[in-house]
């Protein structure tokens, strides 16, 4: 594979693994990439800019201003120039700054200005790598759409053995090549995602709702956007924010608003992923004024059925369009999920069960089983919703390239 003409910003931070950045630079350049190195002040303690500029054929950028003539190094221009940014090695400190937006050096300002996708390859001691703070920051970065090339096990600078060693340069280059070859990319696909709960008004102060936080749907949106898709995220009420520029967010409140928004955009979409917990019923009439207790001991609310978004999209989809549903079940899980998949004409369905600890509403984790129309089944262990989103997108779109969703990985 070739990286001919690709513009890559290589960020280097202060880790002993910075010595491998020389090899990484060499490999990227050999494959035809133009490499612009941005190094943190700490990074220069581990490898010299002279080595790196000789290998990349470009002056290394480190400070905001050039020492000699005071000219400004534009992180904004770098953000526009790059086709990809790779931070390797990425220390715990730099990962934390990236996650928190602490732009106190040229590398982090470049990251914050970056218009292209970003990969990070962490490198640190094993205790730092598994520290809850590092894990949290890595999850934040993943949620922001950054592709994390996980550290591997091996001997570390401390001479301890364990996870924390930066992935080998050859494997980082392979990940970069896969990215440009579209191996895990979604090219220019347009994907509609529903997320969160719907609220069905009873009166001006009350509603029927559910416990969906939107985390699963937002993780899916981030994953699709990170792979280059244009995402239309139709979300019910949630406190979450969607940072990636590839995500167009449409806020709705009720099932009918979500239905209208989804039907409007689906004809131009390649796929719809329906992770929202949509209320099946709404009050027959919404009281204009707050309903008073008025001495009543009981109160009957008459409900009517809401439109089914998944079923409607399943009816209108044309060949080549995919619909992926979710099922949150409490009993006869697989049977119910398969029934829903068939009734709604879904290509596949993601089953999560409230009987699994850590799965379903509100958690940062989920445990899912993917079921497809052609009878395939694949179960995954409990993972963060960001990682679950990755598994779902891998399975659904790799499989759809082979024309039957969900089946390739089973
Ligand atoms: O938001 P989180 O807190 O992260 O939680 C994630 C989740 C548990 C909400 C999510 O993983 C999930 O399971 N979503 C589906 C919830 C559900 O119970 O769906 P359902 O069985 O009612 O519906 C089946 C499918 O039809 C779903 O894809 C649903 O979005 C869709 N549907 C349902 C009713 C309706 N009127 N319109 C629909 O599109």
CATH of the domain at 130: 3.40.50.1950
The tally of CA atoms less than 13 A away on the side-chain side of residue 78 is 28
Residue nearest (by alpha carbon) to ligand 1 atom 18: 328
CATH of the domain at 216: 3.40.50.10300
CA distances from 279 to 201, 207, 395 (A): 11, 11, 28
Is the same domain home to 174 and 203? no
Q: Note the Cα 291 to chain centre separation in Å.
A: 42
Q: Who lines ligand 1 at CB under 6 A?
A: 194, 196, 212-216, 255, 274-278, 280, 306, 308-310, 325-328, 340, 344, 352, 360-362
The predicted-structure confidence for 61-81, as pLDDT tens digits, reads as follows: 998 877 777 777 788 889 999
Ligand 1 pocket: which of 194, 212, 235 to mutate (most atoms <8 Å of CB)?
212
CA of 276 to the centre of ligand 1 (A): 4
The answer to whether residues 169 and 199 belong to one domain is no
Ligand 1, closest atom to CA 326? 28
Pocket probe mutation, ligand 1, options 275, 340, 359, 386, max atoms within 8 Å of Cβ: 275
Please determine, for residue 48, whether its predicted confidence score (pLDDT) is greater than 60: yes
Handedness of CA 99, 102, 107, 110 (dihedral sign): positive
339 and 211 together in one domain: yes
Give the residue-averaged pLDDT of 122-133: 95
Which secondary-structure segment (H or E) carries 77?
helix 75-81
Cα distances from 30 to residues 1, 34, 170, in angstroms, run 11, 10, 12
Those residues whose C-beta lies under 8 Å from the C-beta of residue 182, and which sit 6 or more positions away, are none
Residue 306 known to be catalytic: no
Q: Average pLDDT in the 84-92 region? A: 97
Would residue 377 count as lying in a domain?
Answer: yes
d(C-alpha 186, C-alpha 182), whole Å? 7
Mutate to test the pocket of ligand 1, among 271, 325, 350 (most ligand atoms within 8 A of CB): 325
Beta bridge partners of 23: none
Which atom of ligand 1 is the closest one to the Cα of 310? 39
In the prediction, which pLDDT does 333 show? 95
pTM of the full structure: 0.69
Q: How many independent structural domains does the chain possess?
A: 2
* Average pLDDT over all residues of the chain: 92
Residues 201 and 320 in one domain: yes
Query: What residue's CA is closest to ligand 1, atom 36?
Result: 308
Q: Which two tokens stand for residue 286?
A: 């919404």
**Under 8 Å between Cβ of 118 and 110:** no
The Å distance, Cα 330 to ligand 1 centre, comes to 13
Whether residue 212 is contained in a domain is answered as yes
Label residue 399 by pLDDT band (50, 70, 90). low
Domain C-terminal end among 181, 201, 230 = 181
- Residue 278 CA to ligand 1 center (angstroms) comes to 6
User: Does 397 fall in a domain?
Assistant: yes
The alpha carbon of 327 and the centre of ligand 1 are apart by a number of angstroms equal to 6
Q: What is the pLDDT of residue 410?
A: 29
Mutual angle of helices 385-401 and 215-226, in 10-degree steps: 50
The pLDDT-based confidence of 169 (bands split at 50, 70, 90) is: very high
Give per-residue pLDDT as tens, 287-338.
Answer: 999 999 989 999 999 999 999 999 999 999 999 999 999 999 999 999 999 9
Domain extent for 63: 7-181
CA of 270 to the centre of ligand 1 (A): 20
Q: d(Cα 226, Cα 231) in Å, to the nearest integer?
A: 10
> Does 49 have pLDDT greater than 80?
yes
Options 105, 184, 210, 336, the catalytic residue: 210
**Tell me, what's the pLDDT at 74?**
83
**241-266 pLDDT, tens digit each:** 987 778 999 999 999 999 999 999 99
CA of 318 to the centre of ligand 1 (A): 23
Q: Report which protein residue has its CA nearest ligand 1's atom 33.
A: 278
Q: What is the SS3 string spanning 300-346?
A: CCCEEECCCHHHHHHHHCCCCCEEEEEEEECCCHHHHHHHHHHHCCC
Are 35 and 137 found together in one domain?
yes
Q: Tokens for 222, please give them.
A: 């981030």
């Amino acid at each position: 594979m070739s990286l001919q003409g690709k513009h890559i910003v290589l960020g280097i931070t202060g880790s002993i693994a910075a010595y491998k950045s020389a090899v990484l630079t060499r490999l990227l350049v050999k494959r035809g990439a133009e490499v612009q190195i941005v190094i943190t002040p700490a990074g220069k303690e581990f490898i010299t800019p002279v080595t790196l500029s000789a290998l990349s054929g470009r002056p290394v950028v480190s400070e905001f201003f050039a020492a000699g003539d005071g000219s400004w190094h534009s992180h904004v221009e770098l953000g526009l120039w790059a086709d990809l940014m790779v931070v390797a090695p990425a220390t715990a400190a730099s990962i934390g700054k990236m996650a928190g937006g602490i732009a106190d050096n040229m590398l982090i300002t470049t990251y914050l200005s970056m218009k292209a996708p970003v990969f990070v390859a962490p490198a640190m001691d094993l205790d730092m790598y598994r520290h809850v703070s590092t894990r949290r920051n890595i999850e934040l970065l993943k949620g922001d759409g950054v592709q994390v090339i996980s550290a591997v096990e091996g001997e570390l600078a401390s001479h301890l053995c364990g996870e924390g060693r930066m992935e080998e340069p050859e494997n980082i280059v392979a990940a970069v090549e896969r990215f440009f070859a579209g191996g895990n990319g979604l090219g220019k696909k347009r994907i509609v995602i529903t997320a969160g709960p719907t609220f069905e008004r009873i009166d001006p102060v009350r509603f029927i709702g559910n416990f969906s936080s939107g985390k699963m749907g937002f993780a899916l949106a981030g994953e699709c956007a990170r792979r280059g898709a244009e995402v239309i995220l139709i979300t019910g009420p949630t406190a979450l924010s969607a940072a990636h520029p590839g995500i167009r967010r449409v806020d709705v409140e009720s099932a009918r608003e979500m239905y209208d928004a989804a039907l409007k955009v689906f004809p131009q979409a390649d796929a719809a992923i329906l992770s929202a917990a949509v209320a099946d019923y709404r009050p027959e009439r919404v009281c204009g004024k707050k309903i008073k207790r008025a001495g009543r001991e009981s109160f009957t609310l008459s409900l009517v059925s809401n439109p089914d978004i998944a079923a409607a999209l399943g009816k209108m989809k044309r060949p080549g369009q995919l619909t992926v549903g979710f099922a949150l079940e409490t009993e006869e899980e697989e049977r119910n999920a398969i029934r829903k998949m068939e009734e709604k004409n879904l290509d596949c369905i993601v089953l999560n069960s409230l009987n699994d600890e850590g799965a379903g509403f509100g958690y940062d984790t989920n445990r899912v089983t993917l079921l497809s129309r052609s009878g395939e089944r694949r179960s995954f262990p409990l993972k963060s919703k960001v990682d679950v989103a990755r598994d779902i997108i891998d399975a659904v779109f790799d499989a759809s390239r082979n024309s039957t969703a969900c089946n390739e990985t089973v």
